[in-house]
Amino acid sequence: MPEYEIIPVKHELTGEEKKAIADSIVKKVLKVKELEEEKKEFDKARGEEIKGEQAVIRSLSAQYDQGFVTDKKRCEVRRNFETKNIEYVDTETGEVVKERTMTPEECQMSFTVVRDKESSPVAHIGPGTGER
């Protein structure tokens, strides 16, 4: 029975085969450059993503350490002349979410002149438009 074996045998390349190999080399070099550019963009994007996640970690850690978070809320500003306080009232819940003492300027009552249709000017004393 015959015996078979696969062995390396030298084959001289033709000009056409060399050109085909050269074309393949050029394509592969271009592909490597393209992949390197994609890798740079990917690394940059991943780096930015990592930085973003690290910022979230820092923020969450601060919240955890402080035991509270600060939310932005739309509030109505009310001047309470009896308590001499400025009150910030949450427009959604009606809850006073912050209060502070009025400044001396804010405590002063405004004096506004109001004219009714048929008479002379009438003085109005009290919280008003801020005109003095």
∠56-57-61 over CA atoms, to 5°? 115
> Residue 115 in contact with residue 121, Cβ under 8 Å?
yes
Instruction: List pLDDT tens digits, range 48-104.
Output: 999 999 999 999 999 999 998 988 999 999 998 889 999 999 999 999 999 999 998
Higher pLDDT: 109 or 104? It is 104
Q: How far apart are CA 121 and CA 14, in angstroms?
A: 112
pTM above 0.75, yes or no: no
Give kind and range of the element (H or E) at residue 59.
Answer: helix 15-66
